[in-house]
Amino acid sequence: MAARYLCSMGSHGERLAMEKNRNSWRSKGNQMSGERYPLDVIIEGDTGITQQWERQQDKEAVATFNARVQDWGSKVNAVLKLSIGELVANDKKLSRSLKQNYRHYGKPIVAGEEVTSIGFGFRPEGIYIHLGVGRGYNMEGGTRVLTKKSNKEWNRNPIPWFNPIIEQAIPELVEIVREYCGTLLVNTTRIFINR
């Protein structure tokens, strides 16, 4: 009954329903093993639930797509670990905390469902290191501000270990998504640190 209702809603109604679903899982935050995955790439498009259901009927194509996306995520994760190793002098826990996460509208993927988001999670210090902020060094309106009371010298500099790697990798993901379904898009608004 619900599937018939969704099919009869039309593409505009389906898009509204999908957006409501996306917003509900975004607000809860993607979590896995107690770690938050605040940085993710979302695969979406103007196609509706019906079109997604039709695509998912080809189980082999979905499995191939998911495998390619997960392979992409694993390669990016490995390059991010190398980036941390090369750029971050005192890496004690950051590279070990780096993990990727694959979801279908905020939920673990069940066999036959498409990957709709790829998340990268790591310890909060990864953001501080990337931005060059921390105790006495804050961000205000996208600008680094010195807030410490003693020693008014800048001792921290941004170490951009994350964004450049993601920028280089996104075109490959876009190509994977395009080859799977040309009407889907890669939304990168939530992947970059402080953009």
Task: Grade residue 94 by pLDDT with cuts at 50, 70 and 90.
Answer: very high
pLDDT tens digits along 70-82: 999 999 999 999 9
The predicted pLDDT at position 148 comes to 63
Percent of the chain with pLDDT over 90: 48
Whether 193 maps to a domain, the answer reads no
Please, is 113 exposed, middle or buried when counting C-beta atoms within 10 Å of its C-beta (0-12, 13-18, 19+)?
middle
Whether 120 maps to a domain, the answer reads yes
Q: What's the mean per-residue pLDDT of the chain?
A: 79
The predicted pLDDT at position 60 comes to 96
Whether 68 maps to a domain, the answer reads yes
Whether 195 maps to a domain, the answer reads no
Task: Grade residue 99 by pLDDT with cuts at 50, 70 and 90.
Answer: very high
Whether 158 maps to a domain, the answer reads yes
What domain range includes position 146?
A: 2-187
The predicted pLDDT at position 144 comes to 65
Whether 55 maps to a domain, the answer reads yes
Task: Kindly state the average pLDDT of the residues 151-164.
Answer: 84
Number of folded domains in the chain?
A: 1
Measure the CA–CA gap between 22 and 46, rounded to whole angstroms: 13
Range list of H helices, the chain: 2-28, 49-55, 59-87, 94-97, 125-131, 163-180
Whether 192 maps to a domain, the answer reads no
Task: Identify whether the C-beta of residue 66 lies closer than 8 Å to the C-beta of residue 109.
Answer: yes
**Residue found under tokens 């020693």:** 151
Whether 82 maps to a domain, the answer reads yes
Task: Kindly state the average pLDDT of the residues 22-38.
Answer: 45
